[in-house]
Structure 1
Amino acid sequence: MKKMKIFITTLLLVVVTGLNAADLKVSGELEQGKLKNGMKYYIYKNKKPEDKAYLSLIVNAGSLQEDEDQLGMAHFIEHMAFNGTKSYPGNMLVKHLQSIGMNFGADLNAFTGFDRTIYKLQVPTDRTEEFEKSFEVLKEWANDITFFSKDTIDERGVILEEWRLRQGLSQRISDAQKKAVYGKSRYTERFPIGDPDIIKNATPELLKRYYHKWYHPKNMAVVAVGDFDKNHVKALLEKYFDYDSNYEFKESPKYRIGKSNGEITVFTDPEITSITFDILTKESLEPIQDRESYKRAIIDEIYAGLLQSRFDSISKKADPTIGKGYSYPVDLGKYDSVQVTGAMLREKEIESGISEVIRQMKKLSVYGPTSWEIDGEKSELLMFMENAYKNRESREHSDIASEIEADYLEGYIFTDIENEAEVFREIIKEISYKDILEKAKEVYENSNKAFFLTAPQKKNLHIPTKDEIKKIIENTKNKKLLEVGKNSKKPVLRVKNFSEGEITDKIQETDFLRYKLSNNMEVIIKETDFDKDKILIKLFSKGGSSLMDEKAYIASKLALPVILSSGIGNLSPVETDIYMKGKNIQFHPYISDYTEGIDMETDRENLVTALKILNIFLTQPKVDKDIYENFIVLQKQYINNRKNSPKTLYRDKIKEIVSSNHPRRKPLTLEDLNKISEKDLIEAFRDRFSGIGDFQAVIVGSTRDMDMENLMQKYLAGIPSKDISESPKNLDVKFPKEVTRENVKKGTDKKVSVNLIYPYKGKYTYENRVKYLGVAKILDMILLEEIREKIGGIYTIYADTELSPLNFGENYLTISYSTDPKKADMVTQEIKKVLKNALEGNFEDRILKSVVENYAFNYDSILKKNEFWIDYISKREGFGDNFRIFSPEKYKKTLNRENMIKFMNYAVDSENYIEVRLIPEKSE
């Protein structure tokens, strides 16, 4: 069990009976214990994904436990775990796990934090030998890492590249935040990535000193969650983990973050593109262990939600003092947490924005919330919990394991669903106005605070000094509040009777039902029981902005976020936010180059409301004047500042070169914004969404016994439609025909970022699409081994491919990475050699075998996800019959060595590419 909205994923809303208040109890389904050597274990049987398990080894130590000469060694050991153990020398461990279909990153991973190191595996349980070997792997990490000198020296370069990858603006902000967040404490001195000078000189002896001290059975736990026999798992744990340690163990001291007393930090940087102001209120972390701590956690969540909602309301008014506000709690280690309250500020409203953030905290602490505000936040939590409970059988192993990990590391109780639900139901009724008021006062009056302002460095922008901010804070605190009346009315969505239509045709197909409606819209429904209470809807059509002129295209880039924020029907933007509280409806419209559509997610209870909103959105689009003007102000602020960002300029240059400077690949300018009005946004929306007759809708999920035919006739078939059938227009985006190299010189990063882009030179078929995606997977593995592991030139490197008939030739192989400026030429040449060797077939069979095995490993699980089916059906409808599912057998046959070598040479021209580098103007 973790913090609210993270740990509450198993709650049933039931009527509570009995006179005595219920309390939280440890789940009877969780088997836990301690081996003779002191190692703890947790075993939990779960259904999904079937025939798989999630295993983790938790080390109750991280960078905080490092000695002064060990900075970075906890993280270094995590790397060494993949570079050789007693039974798996060198990289044989990774090769073994890849051979059974596990992907580095997705199924095989590790993490080092301040106070923990966690190794994670997702493994098959239907292959007995391989399942058992997974426990052997965990045990090897726990006790048998080899730390050979050559492996240690080789890994230094990889870790230094990981350190380098983190450098830049985000690291500079992080460094500035250290003092504000962690104060004078060991945290400030022990960031997990470590000290590069110590990393450069790391030795096996240095690593072993940490390893033998902290990787002690009494300081570790193993978590096993999955589709398995619990007795079998327990036997495996006893077989591999009940070993004797030769080293003495002493518990680590309890490290706390440093206190603050209103310190103010002002951080400016030439690469920053927006202004933010944060108030960091520090509190003791209280793990949820019983009824009282549970209640306090729920109160905390309601408080944060109330403040967030108030910020949202302010940002939607005329001439708002803030752009976007936020309020949320963050756990810092095992003993501390911080309540983050802040907002993005407008450049001309920095002082008033700072004051507004403080004023809202004060206002809530003085007057408290309205009853409808409390009801709204309660309904949000109730919706979240009820939805999670109904879909409890769909919970995946990793989600459950993370809660068990919190039990071991922080002391959160792990409960049964029924027990937790009973306690929650009682508590949610008890929470009152007084509870929230007391929480608001506690946060506002807490002096353990730090204030943090970030802003761009630019001419003609006045950034308040620390003293000026201090005066703003004091003046706001001392200024008398004007009490406002408490509105208790909840907004009501008033709708006229919807124009109904008819179903004109109904066809039963292999995987779904297909309907034709009287307005020519097609609706495809696939009923599933993968999730008991989840329904996905995708509405889509071909055409997109390719059919629009320049002015309409510009308007289309802005129309959807503005219209989506402008309210529903008779409701204002703020009223819409209140109305949507507690409704499980996610709504994401889009207009791309060649398609337009709407993606939705809801549940059975909210399906009718979701369809009503969809109908109103399509038939009654509106632009709220204040929303429009606020949006344009922030857009202009962003456009003026975007040139500050090296990464933004780098992406712009890549688009420019790849498209031969095509006008549709250029960023919006101030001149573009001046060409359009509110009216243009509505016209752009109607241009793409009024011709509903050539749209298709796919509905996937728990629709059993919901009379879907009646709902379609009432809310979809009656939407007015133009009698049109559109096809997208080829934008004729041309890739350069010769090798093109360009550099973007910007920033002070200690790294060079590189993109190598090769155009796809073949035709589209679905088989070619499968092969092209396979090319990326093959290259990912080869590049990690040849560039990361052998020469230590990079930390991460990605090969990415895309092939679609709707891309009109904009299909590419992209290889992306960052490296040391001194190594950039060498690393880039080596990568080009790897690609050339791959085209010549110079790669091991095990690489291809791993790609094929990974497909088979995930195949059955993917087919039992609603997300897969809605994507598959919509693509099949969009691409035609040339889009289908390959079975593992078909996939293996398609991705054989002969086919792939032939295809790679057919698809990739290694002599026609673009190379774009982002290089620093100067060193930091």
Structure 2
Amino acid sequence: MKQLKSLLLVALLVVAGQLSAQFEPIPMNPKIRYGKLDNGLTYYIQYNKNPKQRAEFHIAQKVGAILEEDNQNGLAHFLEHMAFNGTKNFPDKGIINYFETLGIKFGVDINAYTSLDKTVYRLSNIPTTRTNIVDSALLVLHDWSGFITLNNDEIDKERGVIMEEWRTRNTAWRRMWKKSQALKFPNSQYAKRDVIGDTAIIQHFSYKALKDYYKKWYHPDLQAVIVVGDIDVDRVEKKIKEMFSDIPKSKRFGIRPVHTVEDNKEPIFSLVIDPEASQTTIKFQYKKKQLPKELKLSQVGFVMDNIHGLISLMLGERFQEIALKPEAPFVGGYGFYSDLVKEKDAFTFAIVPKEGKEKEALKALLYQGEKMTRYGFTNAELERAKTNLLSQYEKIYNERESQKNQNLAEEYIRNFLDNEEIAGAEYEYNLIKAVLPKLSLAKVNDVAKNYITDENV
């Protein structure tokens, strides 16, 4: 908690007295039509014409494999598959068949993904030349929200499909990730779930187990509809209100448990070996308390995100400079600050050794960590990083009128699922120009020196 307070103090020193309303939420891009229905469903709609006469239709869910019971291990992902095997208004393969007549390919523009804490379905690159196509795409999102059929025969057919996917995903990286999760997060749900699930459960689960998961977690207050493209925003908003209002407010409204990972005083050591692994990675992760949502979506959150970004750029430059030398014991290294699980962030610090140089690479990583903690960075390093970061924002600003529909839709999904601000390129560019000159070397180094700790490693 003391470290979090000190990091926040750095951000507050940057914005206090310099930028107005630092505790107020960063405003949402005014081009977005944003709203919520009485049943809790959130929606984001934006007119955009790249590409012309096309649009993105997504539905994001704040649920994933982490919410499964033990007898449902793998069923969040299984349910995602079943969404394409029949819904109230599109029986059997109706969704796939209809959109493929319009040239929209399943697996390319008709797709979905499930992770531990989220599930997202999408219809991409949908023609908008006829209103009935737009209405059909919205109707699919409506059905995915609460009207997936879950026919018993279709469930049994899908078991083999999932088993084949399990076999193709059974790579060295996947096996090592699963073992590492179990070791890193003792006594946590994150140690028990890996999305693809348990093959015994996939082959033999009861129909009720899948339907129970669906009924329990797919409800509108945990869902957002995102539509971006060459569309009539007023008409789309009206149709969303008409279509989705028939979904009743859930009895579990507002209930979504957040699973934790334990703090630890002593370091947790995870050694994972696989004979098919193509490379070795040595990695440290230092768990951190997340910013509260209201701060993350404020100017304080913006400042902290960009301080983390600057530090990552400077570490990357240090590792790259060393890796170019023939005698370097590693091929690459990196450090970055990001979310670890839903309620914890982490500073990740890693290196990829050359074969047979693991000990030397570990020493190099520890040295770079100690160097950052003791001495921080130089002013020359910070100024280069500021220039690079500003150029990234400037590029996005200059290309703001040609942003692709899918990229915008994905931003709004992250706002809903991960509390990422969506002020728009113009606001962000103006804000970063105001913030960067106020970020002194001392303030940035204060943040960097708090990354590496003795606890929560």
TM-score, length basis structure 1: 0.45
Q: Is 1:256 paired with 2:260?
A: yes
Report what 1:204 is aligned to.
207
Given that 1:314 and 1:321 are in contact with CA atoms closer than 8 Å, whether structure 2 keeps it comes out as: no
Question: What are structure 1's unaligned runs of at least 5 residues?
Answer: 1-17, 450-924
Distance 1:94 1:434, change over 3 A: same
Given that 2:308 and 2:336 are in contact with CA atoms closer than 8 Å, whether structure 1 keeps it comes out as: no
Corresponding residue to 2:32 among 30, 33, 37: 30
DSSP-derived class of the 1:324 partner = strand
- 1:590-629 correspondence to structure 2 within 5 Å: none
- 1:318-717 correspondence to structure 2 within 5 Å: 318-445=326-453, 447-449=455-457
Given that 1:72 and 1:192 are in contact with CA atoms closer than 8 Å, whether structure 2 keeps it comes out as: yes
Report what 2:158 is aligned to.
155
DSSP-derived class of the 1:263 partner = coil
Q: Which amino acid aligns with 1:416?
A: G
Q: Which amino acid aligns with 2:147?
A: D
Q: Which amino acid aligns with 1:391?
A: E
DSSP-derived class of the 1:445 partner = coil
DSSP-derived class of the 2:273 partner = strand
Distance 1:190 1:150, change over 3 A: same
**Superposed displacement of residue 247, structure 1:** 5.2
Report what 1:229 is aligned to.
232
Q: Deviations over 1:36-73 (max 9, x none)?
A: 32211111222211111111111221111112211111
Given that 2:78 and 2:162 are in contact with CA atoms closer than 8 Å, whether structure 1 keeps it comes out as: yes
DSSP-derived class of the 1:147 partner = coil
**Superposed displacement of residue 153, structure 1:** 0.4
Structure 2 CA distance for aligned equivalents of residues 404 and 446 of structure 1 = 37
Report what 2:270 is aligned to.
265
Structure 1 CA distance for aligned equivalents of residues 175 and 18 of structure 2 = 56
Q: Is 1:243 paired with 2:251?
A: no
Structure 1 CA distance for aligned equivalents of residues 316 and 135 of structure 2 = 48
Given that 2:390 and 2:433 are in contact with CA atoms closer than 8 Å, whether structure 1 keeps it comes out as: no
Q: Deviations over 1:398-435 (max 9, x none)?
A: 11111111221222222133322222111111112112
Given that 1:280 and 1:340 are in contact with CA atoms closer than 8 Å, whether structure 2 keeps it comes out as: yes
Structure 1 CA distance for aligned equivalents of residues 207 and 277 of structure 2 = 41
Q: Deviations over 1:254-294 (max 9, x none)?
A: 12234343222223333234332111122234363111111
Given that 2:394 and 2:429 are in contact with CA atoms closer than 8 Å, whether structure 1 keeps it comes out as: no
Report what 1:164 is aligned to.
167
Structure 2 CA distance for aligned equivalents of residues 414 and 389 of structure 1 = 13
Q: Which amino acid aligns with 1:445?
A: T
Report what 1:143 is aligned to.
146
Distance 1:233 1:240, change over 3 A: same
Report what 1:125 is aligned to.
128
**Superposed displacement of residue 337, structure 1:** 2.5
Q: Is 1:220 paired with 2:223?
A: yes
Structure 1 CA distance for aligned equivalents of residues 29 and 279 of structure 2 = 46
Structure 2 CA distance for aligned equivalents of residues 137 and 65 of structure 1 = 24
Q: Which amino acid aligns with 2:145?
A: A
Distance 1:246 1:343, change over 3 A: closer
Q: Which amino acid aligns with 2:170?
A: Q
Given that 1:285 and 1:334 are in contact with CA atoms closer than 8 Å, whether structure 2 keeps it comes out as: no
Q: Deviations over 1:82-120 (max 9, x none)?
A: 001122211122111111111112211111111111110
Aligned length: 432
**Superposed displacement of residue 219, structure 1:** 2.0
Corresponding residue to 1:73 among 49, 72, 75: 75
Structure 2 CA distance for aligned equivalents of residues 162 and 103 of structure 1 = 19
Given that 1:149 and 1:203 are in contact with CA atoms closer than 8 Å, whether structure 2 keeps it comes out as: no
Q: Which amino acid aligns with 1:204?
A: Y
Q: Is 1:93 paired with 2:95?
A: yes
Q: Deviations over 1:24-46 (max 9, x none)?
A: 32222222111132211111222
Q: Which amino acid aligns with 2:386?
A: K
- 1:754-769 correspondence to structure 2 within 5 Å: none
**Superposed displacement of residue 358, structure 1:** 1.0
Distance 1:249 1:294, change over 3 A: same
Greater RCO, CA 8 A, separation 6+:
2
Larger Rg: 1
Corresponding residue to 1:278 among 270, 276, 283: 283
Report what 1:111 is aligned to.
113
Q: Which amino acid aligns with 1:424?
A: I
Structure 1 vs Structure 2 CA RMSD: 2.0
Q: Is 1:317 paired with 2:321?
A: no
Structure 2 CA distance for aligned equivalents of residues 228 and 51 of structure 1 = 8
Task: Pick which of 217-226 and 415-424 moved more.
Answer: 415-424
Q: Which amino acid aligns with 1:92?
A: G
What percentage of aligned pairs have identical amino acids? 30
Question: What are structure 2's unaligned runs of at least 5 residues?
Answer: 1-16
Corresponding residue to 2:187 among 184, 189, 209: 184
DSSP-derived class of the 2:87 partner = coil
Q: Which amino acid aligns with 1:264?
A: F
Q: Deviations over 1:648-693 (max 9, x none)?
A: xxxxxxxxxxxxxxxxxxxxxxxxxxxxxxxxxxxxxxxxxxxxxx
**Superposed displacement of residue 348, structure 1:** 4.3
Q: Deviations over 1:745-796 (max 9, x none)?
A: xxxxxxxxxxxxxxxxxxxxxxxxxxxxxxxxxxxxxxxxxxxxxxxxxxxx
- 1:858-869 correspondence to structure 2 within 5 Å: none
Q: Deviations over 1:413-460 (max 9, x none)?
A: 2213332222211111111211221122111225211xxxxxxxxxxx
Distance 1:186 1:99, change over 3 A: same
Structure 1 CA distance for aligned equivalents of residues 374 and 395 of structure 2 = 34
Report what 1:39 is aligned to.
41
Distance 1:38 1:318, change over 3 A: closer
DSSP-derived class of the 1:267 partner = coil
Structure 2 CA distance for aligned equivalents of residues 340 and 180 of structure 1 = 16
Corresponding residue to 1:299 among 270, 284, 307: 307
- 1:807-826 correspondence to structure 2 within 5 Å: none
Q: Deviations over 1:605-649 (max 9, x none)?
A: xxxxxxxxxxxxxxxxxxxxxxxxxxxxxxxxxxxxxxxxxxxxx
Report what 2:176 is aligned to.
173
Given that 2:220 and 2:249 are in contact with CA atoms closer than 8 Å, whether structure 1 keeps it comes out as: no
DSSP-derived class of the 2:270 partner = strand
Q: Deviations over 1:809-857 (max 9, x none)?
A: xxxxxxxxxxxxxxxxxxxxxxxxxxxxxxxxxxxxxxxxxxxxxxxxx
DSSP-derived class of the 2:301 partner = helix
